[in-house]
Chains A and B, each alone.
Chain A
Amino acid sequence: MSNGISKKYSGIALVAAFAMGMAISGEAAAKDKVKVGFIGPLTGGVSVNGIGGRNSADLAVRLRNKDPKAKYEYELVVQDDECKPNIGVQAATKVAADRKVIGAVTHYCSAVAIAAVDTYHKFGLPVVVWGAVLPDITYGNTYKEVHRVNGTMINQNQTAAKFMRSLGYETWAVIHDTTDYGKGHNKYYSENLAKEGGKILATFGVTSDQQDFTAELTKIKELNPDVIYFGGLTPIGVRVRSQMEKLGIKAVFQGTSGIVSDAFVEGTGKLAEGVVAFREGAPTENLPGGQFFLEKYQAEKYDSPPEAYGAFSFAAMNLVLDAIEQVGPNRKKVRDVLNKTSGRDSIVGEISFDDHGQNTVALITKYVIQDGKWTVWEDSDYAAGKRKLVGQK
């Protein structure tokens, strides 16, 4: 009975999709339908990144469906994880429990990803993480199902500590959100900074819905550090940067990959100038396939930008689609193909998974905001000596 009904419905869906396919591409051959998943934050404070990621994954699927050589017709199943671990586990269960979903591209928020990996393992769904940077997502387990195209926060913080010390800064104050993301950044940055001989004067954990930071910042003002290190995502980042100005704090604002977004620049306006942050991988437009990606993205007329991690989502989805093309819609086989990924060309550069499914992204890009744009440090006026960060030596 169950099968009867679901067949009927999928029949209708197939006909509809088929008709649409005809209309769009004029292609007549009926292909088998395969589902792939996307999970990211589509509502809530970081929804901009989630929607950018979703659009990018959607772009990969659309392009593939237009490709006459593709063996299957793909359908993207999208779920909202709200950047909340519990909702993320639900979304993961939903996607993973649907046997027709063969692979998925999942999670921007580390806190969600780390909660959901068990679910993927339980259901045997191969996934590729597209934005979460907490090391434990891949290194905290031995799940064959979990892969990640973007780098972890360890590399990011190594480079960050070295670089900031090289600019001559001595003292830091740390503000981090109390999720695993913020705590992780705090941990790895503190470790690396200690190695480099920098000094942390004070550390403040803040909750992700906090609006007023004047109390923490006044305390920081008292300590007068050279740099404020912020481990968290865009919404709080904007608030902290704005309120620093209120209190007349002149320190440099140093962020993590979580604030590398157009939304941060827009939110802080003029105050964005001279903010530094670090992210794994090269900027989208400098990537080997970056221009191609951005052009295609424009062509589909999505109403919001891909944001910093869109390219990763696009690349991750392509990995999944390639694997399905190669071995057919079978979760185990797709998983094995993904595990063996090595030296694959993609728009984010070469992708190779180690035995934990982690892409070894050696490159960390240093960013500084110059004239309202995230600019690669080396290309900026700051590196050229035309402008100077506060206290830069």
Chain B
Amino acid sequence: MQDELKPTGKPLWQALIGAVLTTVYLILLLKVEEQSEVIGLLAGGAVLLLLLTKTGHLGGIGNTLHSREGALNLLVILGTLAIVGFFYEDHFTLLLIATVMLYVLATLGLNLQFGFAGVLNFAGASFFGIGAYTAAVLGAHTAVPSLLIILVGGVMAALIGCVLLLPVLRTRGHYAAVVTIAFALLFKTFLEVNDILGGPQGLQVPSMKVFGWDFNNNVALGDSVELSFYFSYIIVILLVLIAAFVLVRRVERSWIGLNLDALRLDETAASCFGLNIVRWKVTAFLLGNFLIGIAGALYGMVGGFVAPTSFTFADSLILVSIILLGGIGNVWGLIVAAAIVVIVPEKLQAIQEYRFLLFGGLVMMMLLFRPEGLLPRSVRRYFPGGAER
């Protein structure tokens, strides 16, 4: 604890080594197939993490990075590019990485609602689904350009979210939870029994086309190197993700973020001080759903296929778990948590029918030993780069 509070002047190279190690670790994890190697890597990672936490190095690195946000962001982007570059022709791994990135994008939205404003949303996957289905319907039946479809996906999610505004605004705590839970169940059943949207079978989503260029074709660089078609998608997703990330960070650090914090911590007190509760709750809820919807639209295009089973209540809970695992409110934690939640069960395919059991157990352990999440949000600093006052 002592470490974390100390204003750090530790050199950046420590963080740099950390970033390189993380990147190499992720590459290895994505690369290995043998069951024993996967489990060995996971266990090794967990032990290393525990050791670093105990010795305070993790906190130190975290603080260094926190005080140099620009460096941190650059490292994350470079790391992502390194991993993507490494797997340039490996379709499946790239799909996995794209999925992680889209989950990060969606949870950024959820984080706005829940991590900042304290508005519960257990229907994240439903809004994700609205985006994806929008992409499927618009892509198949209209000539709307792909990039616009992504935006429309977000807008649709926000619009349909408006239906829930009244109950969400009026309820609190568990009562608010049930509103979104009911919506999540309703949405999935609706998709399943509804013939127009393909029923339980789902719909094909046309590929992304930008300026006449179909994203579903591999990209040939010279004669020998052929980039997977997922590569192009990942670049687009990365750009969207960076934009969303900047937006969310801006919001967090601005007076809007302050208002949202106040709202979450004590609604009654906030309204006593003249904050417009309704306005900020609505803003957070709609903006969050917008981001989730965008992620959904991209998800539809990348996967090429949407079905109700991708957007169940359980999937909404997965989104919530990413937030909790990452440390509520911490936007970088989301990246780590999303990677764990998406990649680990996939890598455990080797143990086939036992993987959900093991995954559930792993997450429980993690919560018991690190209940505040992997990277808890630090106390707001009013003077960026300086010490806390």
Q: Which residues of A come within 8 Å of B, CB atoms?
A: 1-2, 5-6, 9, 12-13, 42-43, 47, 51, 78-80, 84-87, 89-90, 93-94, 97-98, 111, 114-115, 118, 122-123, 177-180, 183, 205, 207-208
B202 adjacent to A85 (CB under 8 Å): yes
Q: How far is the CA of A207 from the CA of B201 in the complex (A)?
A: 12
- Could you tell me which residues of chain B, from 163 to 204, have a CB within 8 Å of some CB in chain A? 189, 192-193, 199-202, 204
Q: How far is the CA of A5 from the CA of B33 in the complex (A)?
A: 12
B199 adjacent to A79 (CB under 8 Å): no
Q: How far is the CA of A85 from the CA of B203 in the complex (A)?
A: 10
Q: Contact partner of A180 among B34, B200, B204, B309, CB < 8 A?
A: B200
Q: List 17 A-B contacts (CB under 8 A).
A: A1-B86, A2-B87, A9-B32, A9-B33, A9-B37, A43-B356, A79-B349, A80-B353, A87-B309, A90-B303, A94-B349, A98-B92, A111-B200, A111-B201, A118-B204, A123-B91, A177-B200
Q: Say whether, besides A86-B202, A97-B91, A178 and B193 are in contact (CB < 8 Å).
A: yes
Q: Contact partner of B307 among A5, A98, A115, CB < 8 A?
A: A115
B305 adjacent to A89 (CB under 8 Å): yes
B202 adjacent to A115 (CB under 8 Å): yes
- Could you tell me which residues of chain B, from 291 to 323, have a CB within 8 Å of some CB in chain A? 303-307, 309-310
B33 adjacent to A179 (CB under 8 Å): no
Q: Contact partner of B200 among A13, A90, A178, CB < 8 A?
A: A178
Q: How far is the CA of A180 from the CA of B201 in the complex (A)?
A: 6
Q: Contact partner of A97 among B31, B34, B92, B306, CB < 8 A?
A: B92
Q: How far is the CA of A42 from the CA of B33 in the complex (A)?
A: 19
Q: How far is the CA of A98 from the CA of B307 in the complex (A)?
A: 25
B201 adjacent to A86 (CB under 8 Å): no
Smallest beta-carbon distance B227→chain A, Å: 13
Smallest Cβ-Cβ distance to A89: which chain B residue: B305
Q: Say whether, besides A51-B353, A80-B352, A9 and B34 are in contact (CB < 8 Å).
A: yes
Chain A CB within 8 A of B219 CB? no
A179 adjacent to B86 (CB under 8 Å): no
A86 adjacent to B307 (CB under 8 Å): yes
Q: How far is the CA of A47 from the CA of B355 in the complex (A)?
A: 14
Q: Say whether, besides A84-B307, A207-B189, A93 and B95 are in contact (CB < 8 Å).
A: yes
B90 adjacent to A114 (CB under 8 Å): no
Smallest beta-carbon distance A109→chain B, Å: 11
A42 adjacent to B32 (CB under 8 Å): no
The 5 closest A-B pairs by CB, nearest first: A97-B91, A84-B309, A85-B307, A86-B310, A94-B92
A115 adjacent to B199 (CB under 8 Å): no
A86 adjacent to B306 (CB under 8 Å): yes
Q: Say whether, besides A85-B309, A115-B202, A208-B200, A178 and B192 are in contact (CB < 8 Å).
A: yes
Q: How far is the CA of A85 from the CA of B192 in the complex (A)?
A: 13
Smallest beta-carbon distance A117→chain B, Å: 11
- Could you tell me which residues of chain B, from 65 to 99, have a CB within 8 Å of some CB in chain A? 86-87, 90-92, 95
Q: Contact partner of A118 among B304, B310, B353, CB < 8 A?
A: B304
B201 adjacent to A85 (CB under 8 Å): yes
Smallest Cβ-Cβ distance to A179: which chain B residue: B200
Smallest Cβ-Cβ distance to A86: which chain B residue: B310
Further 11 A-B residue pairs, CB within 8 A, beyond A80-B349, A93-B95, A207-B193: A2-B86, A2-B90, A9-B32, A13-B34, A78-B349, A80-B352, A80-B353, A84-B309, A86-B307, A94-B349, A178-B199
B309 adjacent to A183 (CB under 8 Å): no
Q: How far is the CA of A270 from the CA of B331 in the complex (A)?
A: 57
B192 adjacent to A43 (CB under 8 Å): no
A86 adjacent to B309 (CB under 8 Å): yes
A115 adjacent to B34 (CB under 8 Å): no
B-side contacts of A114, CB under 8 Å: 201
A205 adjacent to B193 (CB under 8 Å): yes
Select the residue from A5, A78, A80, A178 with max chain B CB neighbours within 10 A: A178
Q: How far is the CA of A179 from the CA of B308 in the complex (A)?
A: 11
Q: How far is the CA of A86 from the CA of B352 in the complex (A)?
A: 17
A-side contacts of B216, CB under 8 Å: 122
Q: How far is the CA of A111 from the CA of B189 in the complex (A)?
A: 17
A-side contacts of B303, CB under 8 Å: 86, 89-90
Smallest Cβ-Cβ distance to B315: which chain A residue: A86
A115 adjacent to B305 (CB under 8 Å): yes
A97 adjacent to B90 (CB under 8 Å): yes
B92 adjacent to A183 (CB under 8 Å): no
Q: How far is the CA of A25 from the CA of B342 in the complex (A)?
A: 39
A85 adjacent to B305 (CB under 8 Å): yes
Q: How far is the CA of A122 from the CA of B95 in the complex (A)?
A: 15
B-side contacts of A80, CB under 8 Å: 349, 352-353, 355
Smallest Cβ-Cβ distance to A85: which chain B residue: B307
Smallest Cβ-Cβ distance to A97: which chain B residue: B91
B199 adjacent to A179 (CB under 8 Å): yes
Smallest Cβ-Cβ distance to B89: which chain A residue: A2
Smallest beta-carbon distance B9→chain A, Å: 36
A-side contacts of B32, CB under 8 Å: 9
Q: Say whether, besides A43-B353, A79-B349, A207-B193, A183 and B199 are in contact (CB < 8 Å).
A: yes
Smallest Cβ-Cβ distance to A114: which chain B residue: B201
Smallest beta-carbon distance B182→chain A, Å: 16
B92 adjacent to A207 (CB under 8 Å): no
A-side contacts of B306, CB under 8 Å: 86
A-side contacts of B199, CB under 8 Å: 178-180, 183
Smallest beta-carbon distance A361→chain B, Å: 24
